[in-house]
Structure 1
Amino acid sequence: MTDTSANKAPVNKIGDLLSAAVERAVPVVRAIPDERLAAPTPCAEYDVKSLVNHLLQVIVQFQALAAKQDSDFDQSVDYVAQGPDWRERFVDETGKLVAAWSAPGAEEGTTGAMSMPARTVGSMVLLDLTVHAWDLARATGQTYEPAPEGSGVLEVLRESVAGLAPTARKMGVFGEQVEVPGDASELEKLLAETGRDPSWAPAAA
């Protein structure tokens, strides 16, 4: 029997993808100035502070989901108000997130209240980490560079969003898709698919 495994495309592991996304998100969060915490973001329902709190909640709860444990998205924690080291708390929690999804068996089976495939759930936190890092960068006047081509992050997210989008729009998680030019970057296409305007910028003072 011929072994064809060498011809199969490698599967991007969620832990590796998250690691690549974290490398791009951490500098953005560390550079958020205190005076911009009340600034608007591309997510109309969140200012910078509330979006940081939301993202940290997602990161903490998805650690539990990686371990097939119960999550609690109803709790509301004001991480930013807990002290000036919230930026380093973000660094610590994203490290735990990567470790949780890199653990043996994390991508196997199902997880969460809806018993979704674990890899799909892992892709969801990868999406939040990527698009919310862009949201925070735009809201605070920073440049966001996504994980580089070849990391697999944007490719996996585009595929994941294509499957999630119809349900996500019905639930109000995604807005209606925004039109972008044909030469838009992969990141811009991803943002548009989630209902974001890739050209969003804060209103002039």
Structure 2
Amino acid sequence: MTTQTDVHATLTELADLLERIPAEADGPTPCDDFPIPALRRHVVGWLTAFTDGFSRPDGACSDADAVAVAGDGSAQVRGLRDRLDAALTAGAGERPLSIGGSAMPGDLALAMILWEYQVHGWDLARAAGLPWNPDVDALAATLAFAPGMLSPDNQGEGMTFAAPVPVPEDAPPLDRLVGLSGRRPDWAA
């Protein structure tokens, strides 16, 4: 499978998950400072920004904070997934994506997007008490990628990423990924 295929599958599962979480749902999530409504806005807003970036010739992402969520957000995620697929099929993943004026290679950005939605999907599912089962091979790819994106400069108290949570090496891949991403795999609402 390719990263594009993995992203498509993860976004499909995310849309299905959002459809099962009532639009008015509120409560904490494992992602500190992001209760369910804020995390829903975050995932829809950033998916819009990423999709816009891959859809534009200059690769510039739009403003994620300017996006409003319609209903539960599931229809938006499906539409964005399809736009992203079309852009990537047309070759957009071969050029840089520009986020806030900083450009990164398209394939790196796509791997980052996969990681983002595997973990935030887990955050939302865990908060709602629903299952989240991303593809094991896609999780393995993210587990190989994510450590290269994390450093003491961006992971820990007050940083972009929470400090890693120790998880046994033989734990399931999803548990290892959420632990690496600063979440306790046993988190419960």
| TM bin (shorter chain) | 0.7 to 0.9
In the TM superposition, residue 178 of structure 1 has moved relative to its aligned partner by 0.5
Give a deviation string over 1:38-71, Cα, whole Å, max 9, x none. 2111112111111111101111111122244212
State the percentage of identical aligned residues: 26
Partner of 1:89: 76
8 Å Cα contact 2:95-2:106 kept in structure 1: yes
Which of 3, 9, 12 lines up with 1:14 in the alignment?
Answer: 3
What RMSD over aligned residues (CA atoms) do the two structures have, in Å? 2.1
Which of 2, 14, 20 lines up with 1:31 in the alignment?
Answer: 20
Q: Does 1:146 align with 2:146?
A: no
Rounded Cα–Cα distance in structure 2 between residues aligned with 1:27 and 1:75: 23
8 Å Cα contact 1:15-1:99 kept in structure 2: no
Q: Which has the higher Rg, Structure 1 or Structure 2?
A: 1
Higher relative contact order (CA 8 A, sep 6+): 1
Q: Does 1:111 align with 2:97?
A: yes
In the TM superposition, residue 141 of structure 1 has moved relative to its aligned partner by 1.0
Deviates most, 40-49 or 13-22: 13-22
In the TM superposition, residue 176 of structure 1 has moved relative to its aligned partner by 0.9
Cα 1:103–1:153, aligned 2, differ >3 Å: closer, same or farther? farther
In the TM superposition, residue 89 of structure 1 has moved relative to its aligned partner by 2.1
Rounded Cα–Cα distance in structure 1 between residues aligned with 2:74 and 2:52: 21
Count of equivalent residues: 183
> Aligned to 2:66, what secondary structure does the other structure show?
coil
Structure 1: any 5+ residue segments left out of the alignment?
A: 1-11
> Aligned to 1:115, what secondary structure does the other structure show?
strand
Rounded Cα–Cα distance in structure 2 between residues aligned with 1:197 and 1:85: 26
Residue type of the partner of 2:127?
Answer: A
In the TM superposition, residue 85 of structure 1 has moved relative to its aligned partner by 6.2
> Aligned to 2:150, what secondary structure does the other structure show?
helix
Rounded Cα–Cα distance in structure 2 between residues aligned with 1:168 and 1:73: 22
Deviates most, 94-103 or 37-46: 94-103
Deviates most, 180-189 or 19-28: 19-28
What TM-score does the superposition give when structure 2 sets the normalisation length? 0.86
Cα 1:69–1:176, aligned 2, differ >3 Å: closer, same or farther? same
Partner of 1:51: 39
Cα 1:44–1:119, aligned 2, differ >3 Å: closer, same or farther? same
8 Å Cα contact 2:48-2:80 kept in structure 1: yes
